[in-house]
């Protein structure tokens, strides 16, 4: 009887080791697939990043240290905020970590507030929902006013 229990425990241990290796193999495959996908996305996005899609020009800097006339290049998907991962990082206490989202679709810029404390406006209209914007429009992010240019 003792021999059967020892054999059974040995088989369970071997099965546990096999399952552990299968799990680790799945983890390695998932990581490799993700790395390949990210590398392919990086190669595909390197070409459009050199193109400038437009600019935001500071018209009124409010209480910030930005100088009027400062230009920020826009990407097809642009985020404005205090956080370092934003396309346009602005270090100002009135700007939220992620303040404003802008994107270019079908020849039109769209602006939307990202749930900020001090709001985002297009020509004085709150951008809680996406609002279309065109060249010459004034986009207010917190207390900073930008002019959208192409």
83: Cβ contacts below 8 Å, ≥ 6 apart: 89, 97, 98
Could you say which DSSP state residue 95 is in?
Answer: S
Region of residue 129 (phi > 0: left; psi between -120 and 50: alpha; otherwise: beta): beta
pLDDT band at 41 (very low <50, low <70, confident <90, very high): low
pLDDT band at 46 (very low <50, low <70, confident <90, very high): very low
What 3-state class would DSSP assign to 22?
Answer: helix
pLDDT > 90: percent of the chain:
69
- Please write the tens of the pLDDT for every residue from 105-118: 998 999 999 999 99
The C-alpha atoms of residue 114 and residue 97 are separated, in whole angstroms, by 9
The confidence score (pLDDT) of residue 65 equals: 85
User: What are the structure tokens assigned to 101, written together?
Assistant: 């989202």
- Please write the tens of the pLDDT for every residue from 65-103: 889 999 999 999 999 999 989 999 998 888 999 999 999
The C-alpha atoms of residue 31 and residue 33 are separated, in whole angstroms, by 5
The confidence score (pLDDT) of residue 34 equals: 82
The predicted model scores a pTM of 0.65
> What φ, ψ does residue 108 adopt, rounded to 5°?
-130, 140
Q: Which of 106, 120, 114 is nearest to 85 (CA)?
A: 114
Q: Which residue has the higher pLDDT, 48 or 132?
A: 132
Q: Which of 117, 112, 111 is nearest to 134 (CA)?
A: 111
Cα–Cα distances (Å) from 140 to 16, 56, 59, 70, 132, in that order, read 60, 11, 10, 15, 14
Contact 108, 76 (CB under 8 A): no
């Amino acid at each position: 009887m003792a021999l059967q229990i020892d054999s059974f425990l040995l088989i369970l241990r071997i099965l546990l080791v096999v399952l552990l290796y299968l799990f680790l193999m799945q983890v390695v495959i998932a990581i490799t697939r993700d790395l390949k996908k990210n590398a392919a996305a990086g190669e595909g996005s390197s070409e459009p990043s050199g193109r400038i899609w437009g600019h935001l020009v500071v018209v009124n800097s409010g209480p910030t240290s930005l100088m009027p006339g400062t230009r920020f290049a826009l990407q097809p998907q642009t985020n404005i905020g205090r956080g370092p991962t934003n396309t346009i990082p602005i270090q100002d206490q009135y700007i939220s970590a992620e303040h404003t989202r802008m994107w270019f679709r079908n020849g039109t810029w769209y602006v939307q507030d990202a749930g900020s404390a001090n709001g985002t406006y297009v020509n004085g209209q709150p951008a809680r929902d996406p609002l279309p914007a065109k060249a010459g429009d004034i986009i207010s992010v917190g207390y900073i006013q930008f002019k959208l240019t192409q």
